[in-house]
Structure 1
Amino acid sequence: MTTPVPETVDVLVVGAGMAGSHLALELAQAGRQVTVLEAGPKKPRHDWMSIFTRNPVKGPQAPYPSNPWAPHPEDGGYATFYDQAGPMEFVGAYLRIYGGSTWHWTGFADRLRPADFRMKSTYGVGLDWPVGYEELTPYYARAEKIWGVAGSMEHTWGAPRSEPYPMPPIPASYMDSRVDIALKQMGLHSGIFSHARNSVQFDGRPPCCGNNTCVPICPVGAKLDGSVIADKAEAAGTQIITEAVVTMIHVAPDGRVSGVDVRRPDGSEARVTANVYALCCHAIENPRLLLMSAQENAPRGVANGSDAVGRYLITQANQDTKGVTRDPVFPYRGPQQTSGLIELRDGDFRSSHAAIGTSFMNSGHSGNSDGTDVARELIRKGYMGQALVRELNRIVSRHLRLNSSGEILPDPENRLTLSDEVDSAGLPKARIAYNIDAYTHAGMEISRKINTEVLQRLGSSEITSNEVYLSNAIIGGTARMGDDPNTSVVTAHQQAHQHPNLYILGSSAHVTMPVNAPTLTIAALAMRTAEHILG
């Protein structure tokens, strides 16, 4: 039976992903009455797994089919899901389901570094955040305890900390140790990542058992995702209503938000009013909804007096260098990424070229379908039976892919606007204009040369590097925070400059997108915003 949408609530949160769920959890535990509207459905893990198993495409969106009333990108469909304004194709992947896009994230649980919040002051490029590392430190620590982060104090990736990680680290793979041999010959170093992935049993969830499908789904729930936090929020008293799409935000003459329109899959509509409103529906859906809500009291869109909504869209640049090593490195065992290159992630060089985060991809050449692709090619060449098995094992056991992600400086011309085209729900598509500059390309070329040399030192054949492409995992900046209401959308507490009872949370509020993962920062900022609302 479909849960009816209430007419009036205290705190209304839009989106049951990582930001919305953490905000709801904090507020509910403090006694506030919270209602969360989630556009997509809620399914148990085994249902998503069943879809993934049957889907011949094993990309990041494979277990999570788009729904006509709340569409999201599907593998292979980015070119048409977005109205592409170019010059680069935007391939941002996100989900509209209970728990949000962390269902298919890598599970990296890094804090940002102190310098990441002070790019302009420290390196003379990019922008400074209106909040710093020291202010977020207590919230980082609280989020890590809730998540149960696994990590090593020997590898904090540039983020100072005084307390140990809640769980022992996820160990490096055998493949990582082979890469490390080459790096040491080059005077470089590797380190293990911190993970929101259980290394031991924690919070009723089992330890990682090495299924190697972290992206797109952890079959056993060892990897944390937003549904874990949403469940905690619901247990604390939060009402979560799924399959409820917010299509319009109404603004009163005094500048306060006065209600939102909600549409259900059957076409029925309702209006909800609240004391406090919080948009937590992703860095694409947040600005799209704000712009769709243009009206007399918000002529350029809600919270868009600065014309910054949709601008400063930030992602990361990616490049893969891969080959077939001389000796087996045995990928595809354990989590998909356990270690990475320490160098190039921060330093004075960021004044002239991008920081680069290089990961040793335990998912092999090109993701989960790679073994199938190799088998098809061998069959085409005439291999059959045991000969096929032996040759397949020989090749796949030697696959090595090094993936480098480069930061992209915020640029107001990298932006989301509303398209004249509509999606399956009859709402304007997101039109994306995107390009990357010489600053990013310079960093990516340095990393490509290093990665090529690593493969050469491992005696690899068939070494190739693809063209630089945009990340499908990192999206932010489209409702960025700042002290100046003329150039930003929200304050350091993620409160809209123009509308005192509206908060806009998640990576859309992030000012830059360094190579440390943004998700822990999303959670920390949500906790800080909850404290501000309670105050």
Structure 2
Amino acid sequence: MSADGGSGGTDGGVGDGVDRTPSPSADVCVVGSGPAGALVAHRLADEGTNVVVLEAGPRFEFSERTAQQERHIRPGMEDPWEMGGPRDAYSTEGRHYPLNAARVKGVGGSTLHWQGMVMRLHERDFEMQTRYGVGTDWPIDYDDLQSYYADAERAFGVAGAMDNPYAPPREAPFPLPAFPPSYSDSLFAEACERLEIDMHSVPNARNSEPYDDRAPCLGYGTCKPVCPSGAKYTAESHVSKAEAAGARVIDRVPVQRLEHDEAGETIEAAVYATPDGTEHRQTAGQFVLACGGVENARLLLLSASEQHPDGLANSSGAVGRFFMDHLFAGAGGRLDEPTRQNHVGFNTSETHQFYDDTEPVEGLKLEFLNYAGPSPVIEALGADTWGDELVAQLSESYGTHVAVGGLVEQLPDAENRITLDPDRRDDHGNPVPHVEWSLGERTERAIRRANEIQHAILEELGASIEWTVGPESTGPAYHQMGTTRMGSDPGQSVVDADCRTHDLSNLWIVGSSVFPTGGAMNPTLTIAALSLRTADALSASLSDR
């Protein structure tokens, strides 16, 4: 079919009446509508820039959230965010990487189902090579992001408290008050005090009180993957604000490739497909990739040309390489008393006390989990008994569990990477992403250290330890980072300090794929801060024309 339109009507065969033909005079084309793309689109549109956003997945209506929640909690029901199938196919090598377990393609991206914890990186994370002789340094430091971190916290509506003695410097309090410690947090507190471990609150991107036309948290407990109340931030908020400012957002249009000018110096168009298979060319003056740590790299590789035979923006060979994630470490068991687990669907207490330790170098943060053990709702729905017998069964399985989780840093390794699978194709005939991923000895040592601390806490609490997630059984936190890393040396990186690609003057990349190192903090607040900073740099470049 024609790359300029073709058959199928303006909506691409969806039947919803939405015009999916290209915008005729876009200044900026953003690919992806997760937090990175939504924040960039809103900031630029709010300044009067003509912005079009291309989103691969659908627009999920908020009115359907309760139904999605019900699908989630009923045994055997499908993924509430419609992930899977040929569209989302992938392959993996080394340690198995379950890519589709925690990503969403749709307006709002993975914030549709994230847990919502938002911490700043520490100062050490920006200078790992200088401080410890490992990894690499960022081309920016904490001070360069500090004001943007504050902007991001206001954008999200972060609930937090100034009670973390290990946190990096702040210029102002959080926008919203922190959620109070849970009942099980209070049980941990006494044991941690005896062990001289400092507990403090968790910054959460969910409303502890009404904020930004969103309701306060109502305690549904299904935060991941569905918040029916809207208290948890999703990027849909800034998509709506971008649209109100004049941006156009087109859903169900996966970008197939980027096309450049004859010289190979600037991008001319993003070629996207509508559901009926029709291809269109969206032209613009500037292009922003914001489709995640895997898909950003994949799209650059899919766009290989005679001038860029190894993929766009890949003169360094770094596109797809240095793939990182955070590793989960945890331990749990039971107490001989009620713990009221699963009353809160998110973490309210954590500790960064061990984060900046230099041995091992990899950072780790510990989380006091509020959702250990089975959910009584899911247990009841899947039970074969009824009445008093079911109550007795639930009494045996629910309410006495405790657990301590944690995230552990993974340092960049060029052999951990995203490539194109030569044999497997998606629903448009493109090679699917191939994930090559493994853990190094240093990371495994950091996981074992986290387990030692977790066991000490549980033993001090008097819990019987029933399970441990250590190096052999660990899995990812689904924070895909590093595949289009930033740096000052074009021979070693993909984008510069402003997240503009070294090789193409009008191509920018935002999201965790630009992280040179990942620390052990959940990445979304840093994604947001970097995206706001990039939007300002892009805006300045538009003004200079």
After TM superposition, the score normalised by the length of structure 1 is 0.92
Unaligned runs of 5+ in 2: 1-16, 541-545
Q: Which residue of 1 aligns with 2:364?
A: 356
Question: How far off is 1:415 after superposition?
Answer: 0.3
Cα distance change, pair 376–28 in 1 and its aligned pair in 2 (3 A): closer
1:186-230 deviation line (CA, Å, top 9, x unaligned): 221211111111111111111112111111111101110111111
Matched, 1:523 2:528: yes
| Matched-pair contact (CA < 8 Å) for 2:29–2:284 | yes
Cα distance change, pair 17–157 in 1 and its aligned pair in 2 (3 A): farther
1:15-62 deviation line (CA, Å, top 9, x unaligned): 111011110111111111101111111121232441341246779993
Cα distance change, pair 375–219 in 1 and its aligned pair in 2 (3 A): closer
Q: Identify the match of residue 89 of structure 1 among 90, 97, 106.
A: 97
Matched, 1:502 2:502: no
Cα distance change, pair 442–307 in 1 and its aligned pair in 2 (3 A): same
Q: Which residue of 2 aligns with 1:77?
A: none
**One-letter amino acid of the structure 1 residue matched with residue 412 of structure 2:** P
Q: Which residue of 1 aligns with 2:204?
A: 195
Q: How is 1:202-221 mapped onto 2 (pairs within 5 angstroms)?
A: 202-221=211-230
Cα distance change, pair 507–365 in 1 and its aligned pair in 2 (3 A): same
Question: How far off is 1:439 after superposition?
Answer: 1.0
What's the secondary structure of 1:431's corresponding residue? Answer: strand
Cα distance change, pair 357–468 in 1 and its aligned pair in 2 (3 A): farther
Q: How is 1:400-439 mapped onto 2 (pairs within 5 angstroms)?
A: 400-419=402-421, 420-439=423-442
**One-letter amino acid of the structure 2 residue matched with residue 315 of structure 1:** D
Question: How far off is 1:335 after superposition?
Answer: 3.6
Q: Identify the match of residue 301 of structure 1 among 300, 311, 316.
A: 311
Question: How far off is 1:7 after superposition?
Answer: 4.4
How far, CA to CA, are the matches of 2:294 and 2:486 in structure 1? 16
How far, CA to CA, are the matches of 2:42 and 2:456 in structure 1? 48
Q: Which residue of 2 aligns with 1:111?
A: 120
Q: Which residue of 1 aligns with 2:150?
A: 141
Matched, 1:2 2:7: no
C-alpha RMSD of the superposition: 2.2
Cα distance change, pair 469–125 in 1 and its aligned pair in 2 (3 A): same
How far, CA to CA, are the matches of 1:61 and 1:181 in structure 2? 41
Q: Identify the match of residue 400 of structure 2 among 390, 398, 401.
A: 398
How far, CA to CA, are the matches of 1:43 and 1:491 in structure 2? 34
Q: Which residue of 1 aligns with 2:13?
A: none
Q: Identify the match of residue 457 of structure 1 among 455, 460, 464.
A: 460
What's the secondary structure of 2:329's corresponding residue? Answer: strand
Q: Which residue of 2 aligns with 1:173?
A: 182
Identity of matched residues, %: 35
Q: Which residue of 2 aligns with 1:333?
A: 343
Matched, 1:185 2:187: no
Cα distance change, pair 416–508 in 1 and its aligned pair in 2 (3 A): same
Question: How far off is 1:444 after superposition?
Answer: 0.9
After TM superposition, the score normalised by the length of structure 2 is 0.90
Question: How far off is 1:292 after superposition?
Answer: 0.7
**One-letter amino acid of the structure 2 residue matched with residue 13 of structure 1:** V
Q: Which residue of 2 aligns with 1:161?
A: 170
Q: Which residue of 1 aligns with 2:543?
A: none
How far, CA to CA, are the matches of 2:218 and 2:119 in structure 1? 22
Matched, 1:447 2:450: yes
Range moving further from structure 2, 56-65 or 232-241: 56-65
Range moving further from structure 2, 406-415 or 243-252: 243-252
How far, CA to CA, are the matches of 1:59 and 1:285 in structure 2? 29
How far, CA to CA, are the matches of 1:129 and 1:202 in structure 2? 34
Range moving further from structure 2, 386-395 or 93-102: 386-395
Unaligned runs of 5+ in 1: 73-80
| Matched-pair contact (CA < 8 Å) for 2:344–2:371 | no
Question: How far off is 1:8 after superposition?
Answer: 4.2
Question: How far off is 1:355 after superposition?
Answer: 1.4
How far, CA to CA, are the matches of 2:204 and 2:409 in structure 1? 21
Q: How is 1:22-101 mapped onto 2 (pairs within 5 angstroms)?
A: 22-55=39-72, 62-66=79-83, 71-72=87-88, 81-91=89-99, 93-101=102-110
**One-letter amino acid of the structure 1 residue matched with residue 171 of structure 2:** S
Matched, 1:532 2:517: no
**One-letter amino acid of the structure 1 residue matched with residue 269 of structure 2:** G
What's the secondary structure of 1:240's corresponding residue? Answer: strand
Q: Which residue of 2 aligns with 1:75?
A: none
Q: Identify the match of residue 352 of structure 2 among 323, 342, 345.
A: 342
Q: Which residue of 2 aligns with 1:78?
A: none
What's the secondary structure of 1:96's corresponding residue? Answer: coil
What's the secondary structure of 2:532's corresponding residue? Answer: helix
How far, CA to CA, are the matches of 1:21 and 1:362 in structure 2? 30
| Matched-pair contact (CA < 8 Å) for 2:480–2:513 | yes
**One-letter amino acid of the structure 1 residue matched with residue 110 of structure 2:** S
Q: Identify the match of residue 247 of structure 1 among 245, 256, 265.
A: 256
